[in-house]
Structures are given as C-alpha cells and as structure tokens.
Amino acid sequence: MVDDATLLHRYAVNRSEEAFTELVGRHLPLVYSAALRRLDGDTHRAADVAQGVFAALARDAARLSRHAVLAGWLYTAARNAAIDVVRAEQRRRVREREAHTMQEISGQSETQADWTRLRPVLDGVMDQLGDRDRDAVLLRFFQGRQFM
C-alpha cells in the first residue's frame, strides 16, 4: 500500500486524480465523522465541512505532502472548519434576533418602545457601524439634527 505522503506528492506534481481519489477514500470517514460530531449530527453541514477540507488538501497538496501525519492535519482542519461553521451560525442567529427586535420596535410608536429590549441591541448595532455612519446616526437621532 502506498503511503499518504507519496499519494499526495503524486497529486501535487502530476495532478493524479487516482492518487487524490485514494486519499479521499482513506480519510473521508475520519474527516466526516470529526465534523459530524462537532456539528451535533448535522449531516449536510458535516458534508460541506468535509468537502472544504479536501478542497484545501488539493489546494495545498505540495506543502502538505511533507506533513508527517496527514490524518492529523485532516482532523485539525475538520475541527477548525466545523468550529468556523458553528461560530458563523451563532453570529447569524444573533443578527437575526437583533433584526427581529429592531423590526418589532420600529413598528411601535416612540412612546411605546420597550427600552429594556432596545437598550442592549442599540449599543451592539452602534458598535458595528463605521465612523461616518455612527456619526450620522448620533447627529440625527441623538442630537436631533435635521437631514440636509
């Protein structure tokens, strides 16, 4: 049996699809299962992570062919990619919650605004604005200046 480094070198130098197919076949269960565990059993996201890991392997094949234990790199890449997916999902949920809260509040009159719900969202949104946008909001809505 040909070792991983040799197969990866063949792919890097000759773009041998057979060599890369052999590597994927050997390591797909490891990569997919590592992603699946970190993604709480979400098969679709785990498949996306695995695809991304093997795309990175193909892209960086020449450098990685010198890696002592390819399985270690693949496991770490799967772990990091899954963590990135989880973080992106968490950020998306926070943005959706903030947007929903802002939409609810904007539908109410100013006197009816629930400031206990608006207060934490407002500062978070203000912190995300660039300097020019934040200055414009501050001048208009906090200092009562008119549009020009």
pLDDT of residue 146: 74
Q: Give the DSSP letter of residue 68.
A: S
From first to last of its 148 residues, the chain has per-residue pLDDT tens of 899 999 999 999 999 999 999 999 999 999 999 999 999 999 999 999 999 999 999 999 989 888 778 999 999 999 999 999 999 999 988 888 888 877 776 665 555 556 677 777 777 788 888 888 888 878 877 777 776 6
pTM: 0.65
Please give the pLDDT value at position 148: 64
Q: Distance (Å, rounded) from C-alpha 36 to C-alpha 50?
A: 9
Non-local (6+) Cβ contacts of 72 within 8 A are none
Task: Show the domains of the chain with their CATH numbers.
Answer: 4-93 (1.10.1740.10), 108-148 (no CATH)
- Residues 51 and 60: their CA atoms lie apart, in Å, by 14
C-alpha–C-alpha distance, residues 108 and 73, integer Å: 53
Helix boundaries (H) for the chain: 4-14, 17-38, 43-59, 61-64, 70-106, 115-128, 131-137
